[in-house]
Chain A
Amino acid sequence: MLHVVGLGCARGGAAVLSNVSFDLVAGQALVLRGPNGIGKTTLLRTLAGLQPPITGDVVMPEETAAYASHADGIKTALTVTENLAFWAEVYGMPLDLAVLDRFDLAGLRNRQGGTLSAGQKRRLGLARLAVIGRKILFLDEPTVSLDTGSVAMFARWLQGDHLAQGGIAVIATHIDLGLDAPVLDLTPFQSAPGTGGGTDEAFL
């Protein structure tokens, strides 16, 4: 379902990764590893279509992917339920409030986003992924600021709901989620320093 062929991507006009290739079928996850600055976020942003690849191709069915960044995109003036309802409506999905229990947010449903703690915000950000009903997820450090219980809860959802129902996930993370998933170390794909970044230069 997700084919990545010879992908090269750039950050700030400098190539960071080249020749990344992998294939994922329904129900599979891939964990991205590598030291800081290796290009995990850049790769995920390229996969999600936020920036064009400099070489190679990403092949997947249209309108099936979703991206979750470092930032959760939570509106501080909206309540937990309103935040989720907004994303459900944007993606044209019905909002099933059972998701609140799933991510331990039921007690917070009428709290405004701005009053949540960092971990609660993250849980709300992850609950968004369950609401939008997308098959392919690109997750950038999904467990930042989560406690161990919440990490386990998220891993259970990912394995038991998302992947079990034929989903795909590409996850950049430093901790072990306990997933039954192959690990891709990005170090061998690092571009040689000084290689041109391609596409950006035309604009700069």
Chain B
Amino acid sequence: MIALLKRDLRLALRAGGGFGLGLAFFLIVVVLVPFGVGPDRDVLSPIAPGILWIGALLAALLSLDRIFALDFEDGSLALLATSPLPLEAAGLIKACAHWITTGLPLTLAAPLFGFLLLMTPEAYGYLLASLLIGTPALSMIGTFGAALTVGLRRGGLLLSLLVLPLYVPTLIFGAEAVRRGAAGLDASGALILQGGITAGCFAILPFATAAVLRINLR
């Protein structure tokens, strides 16, 4: 399992587009928003949590189609499927590698981007916490979507259509937690629900991912 994680991280570092791309995309989205709605603090500050969460969502989406597509094309997915590593573990590892290359950098950089959107200072901690709890679910759901569309031509577009609706619960509770934090209210309920979604995803989706991969590899 560690071997696959190491390989995927190394590939993400070497082939480019791993760590930097999602982060740069996130930055662009966040920078574009003030141009669209105006730099007024009264406008930007209330919508900052929502914008940051939607930005994180889109940035995570950007690299999803590469999770299995490259391994499928060069044949290593079929070789992995016949190796001693169970496909369930492979799915889990792929999701972890995706999170380390996109979710984690996004989480760490988000407070900086919150500053660009004039977010209320009290919300920074909640933004960090909600992204830390929520982004692993984005990676796991996305890995499942990538497994569904592996081998399809132009699968990336279909992948977005499949995955984005599944991101809705994470988005609702993530943005809600930050909003409540910004308003000085208790955000623990939203964070706990988010944690529940993430835990549920990691409990179920590796098995679904493996089942779907087996069908797609036939």
Contact = CB atoms under 8 A, between A and B. Distances in A.
Nearest to A125: B75
A75 B84 contact: no
Contact of A48 (B11, B77, B82): B82
A90 B10 contact: no
A89 interface: yes
Contacts of B7: 75, 78, 82, 86
Judged by DSSP, the binding face of A is loop
Interface in B1-38: 2-4, 6-7, 10-11, 14-15
Interface residues of B, number: 26
B97 to A, nearest CB: 13
Contacts of B85: 90
B3 A50 contact: no
A78 B75 contact: no
Contact of B74 (A63, A74, A82, A91): A74
Nearest to B7: A86
Interface residues of A, number: 30
B217 interface: yes
Contact of B82 (A66, A86, A200): A66
13 contacts: A50-B78, A67-B79, A71-B74, A73-B71, A73-B80, A74-B74, A74-B76, A75-B76, A76-B74, A86-B4, A90-B3, A90-B80, A90-B85
Q: Which 6 A-B pairs rank lowest in CB-CB distance, beginning with the nearest?
A: A71-B75, A73-B76, A89-B3, A77-B14, A73-B75, A73-B79
